[in-house]
Amino acid sequence: MALEICPKCGKISFIKTPLGRIMRESLGCMIHIGDKHYWKCLACNHRTETVMVNNKWGDHFDLPWYKRLFRI
């Protein structure tokens, strides 16, 4: 993980911290559809809110069922 500049204290100590994986059950198997993480500063303990980032499958399952079925 790369260190970045903290918006609060200005030091290069802002790190992306993984929080969890988002899974979905589809046809009897679990599919990884996204990740949750937050950014935390190691110097001043500034922490952002939790962010969820979808991957390709997450973007696919965000669509309504009829758009997924007919690929509209």
Model confidence at 39: pLDDT above 70:
yes
Model confidence at 14: pLDDT above 90:
no
The whole-number pLDDT of residue 72 equals: 56
- The more confidently predicted of residues 7 and 68 is 7
- The more confidently predicted of residues 13 and 1 is 13
Place of tokens 């190691």: 42
The whole-number pLDDT of residue 35 equals: 92
User: What number is the average pLDDT over the span 36-46?
Assistant: 90
The strand pairing partners of 30, in sequence order, are: 25
Q: What is the pTM of this model?
A: 0.65
User: What number is the average pLDDT over the span 55-68?
Assistant: 83
Q: Which amino acid is at 58?
A: G
